[in-house]
Amino acid sequence: MEYIKNRFYEKASKCIAEYEKLKKNHADKVIGTITIGQIMTGMKGIPGLITDTSKLDPNEGIRFRGHSIAELREKLPKLNPDGEPLPEGLFYLMLIGDIPDHEDVINISKDWSTRSYVPQHVFDVIDALPGISKPMTQFSAAILSMATESIFQKAYRAGVNKKYYWDTTYEDVMNLIARLPRIAAYIYRRMFYNSDHIEPNPHLDWAGNLAHMMGHNSEEVKRLLRLYMVIHADHEGGNVSAHATHLVGSALSNPYYAYAAGMLGLAGPLHGYANQDVMNWLFEMITYLDNDEPSNEQIGDYIRKTLSEGRVVPGYGHAVLRVTDPRFTAQQEFAERYIKNDKLINIVNQVHQIAPPILEETGKIKNPWPNVDAISGALLYHYGIKEYSFYTVLFGVSRSLGVLASLVRDRLYGLPIERPSSFPLSWFKQKAEEQEEQ
């Protein structure tokens, strides 16, 4: 499958010249101004990162190399015309920039299948963790323990020229992505099926094999996981998991360390843990109301109660988006098409109608609309993947595609160590006062 790597290098190496030219000839050009408000709200909107794989528009949602989710569902190769696109194709698109053909995607599938061997010590590390360890703890520990396999790290220590860093990073990234379904499924079966593990099927695609190894082998679950793996893959570079991967990678830490760092960020409740929190919140509401078919009024009251307790309504709001997340819409359409009369999905749809005006009433929430996490859990739950403490691992497996494609490109450009400046609070106060006086 060497041709995919060669094709990547042929296409992407042209960008190195552009990067070098910008750095050399335009270093003094001003991009924008930074306000104290932006700094105080988590550096929102400050253009500070180079990320080619995807771009998020506040009013339209994510585009992967210029393609919306609806377009991806049309254009990326599928196993059958009625199915969902294969995540392998999205990885190719993000890495290289072109829509792949069917053969390219099948070749990536086969390549990942041949690379998917997980060393025994990784399973030993998982098994050594106490059963009470959260799935994301087990997942990130497994990834860290696999750093023994880093080809990049070995090449670096052997003194390889920096212009070849991308090459061994590519190898690590392909190996790492290939092994993630096996690791995720191992954790799932360990935690919820008494360690009754299922061997991989080398003839299945990446997401299909994940469903198979989790023990959810129906075509419906495979179709859902293909969609899931595509829509969660990337959300430009500034989100916590992508940024953490990039930041740690910028110190030339090996890709296993960089991706594990991203996963630890994803585990936070304001980011990827929100997909579990939504389920906690929905079931808490059902228990509190003692009703699994609540009225709109009851749901509205429960949302107000949540806000009055100083808690967030999980699955709602976004740091960048100002409209309903198209990743939410894609899943809602999937549910409309394939699922009938599911009580939990009905509640998710009711919350979608009721929550936004109530969140807007607070006057402070900038985006009252649902994000990707508001519905993803209800779909998994419908198909029998009911262990929702595991859901963030699934998000993490998908997120590898975007953040690791970016890491290969980071290394190709030779992006420098990331090192923004920090100042004490008094410095900002002084700057604000100086401007007041002018």
Asked if residue 312 binds ligand CMX (CB under 6 A), the reply is yes
> Of 373, 382, 404, 408, which lies in the binding site for ligand CMX, with binding defined by CB under 6 A?
373
| CA 38 to chain CA centroid, nearest Å | 24
What character string, x for contact with ligand CMX (CB under 6 A) and - otherwise, covers 247-286?
Answer: -----------------------xxx-x------------
Asked if residue 354 binds ligand CMX (CB under 6 A), the reply is no
Instruction: Return the number of the residue (49 or 252) whose C-beta is nearest ligand CMX.
Output: 49
Q: Which residue is nearest to ligand CMX (CB)?
A: 317
Is 352 a residue of the active site? no
State how far the Cα of 126 lies from the Cα of 108, in Å rounded to an integer: 28
102 φ/ψ angles, rounded to the nearest 5 degrees: -60, -40
User: How many residues lie near ligand CMX (CB under 6 A)?
Assistant: 20
Q: Which residues contact 9 (CB under 8 A, 6 or more apart)?
A: 166, 412
| CA 284 to chain CA centroid, nearest Å | 26
Q: How far is the CB of 364 from ligand CMX (least distance, A)?
A: 5
What three-state secondary structure class fits 225?
Answer: helix
Instruction: Return the number of the residue (120 or 308) whose C-beta is nearest ligand CMX.
Output: 308
Is 271 a residue of the active site? yes
Distances (CA, A) of 18 to 13, 25, 76: 9, 10, 28
Asked if residue 403 binds ligand CMX (CB under 6 A), the reply is no
> Is residue 379 a contact partner of residue 335, using CB atoms and an 8 Å limit?
yes
CA dihedral 206, 209, 214, 215 (to 10 degrees): 160
Distances (CA, A) of 82 to 227, 237, 360: 12, 32, 38
Q: How far is the CB of 16 from ligand CMX (least distance, A)?
A: 31
State how far the Cα of 97 lies from the Cα of 11, in Å rounded to an integer: 8
Instruction: Return the number of the residue (100 or 300) whose C-beta is nearest ligand CMX.
Output: 300
Catalytic residue among 212, 216, 246, 271: 271
State how far the Cα of 215 lies from the Cα of 221, in Å rounded to an integer: 10
Positions 72 through 91 that interact with ligand CMX (CB under 6 A): none
Is 373 a residue of the active site? yes
> Of 109, 245, 367, 400, which lies in the binding site for ligand CMX, with binding defined by CB under 6 A?
367
Catalytic residue among 232, 318, 352, 382: 318
Which residues are known catalytic residues?
Answer: 271, 318, 373
Q: Which chain residues interact with ligand CMX by CB under 6 A?
A: 270-272, 274, 307, 312-319, 364-367, 371-373
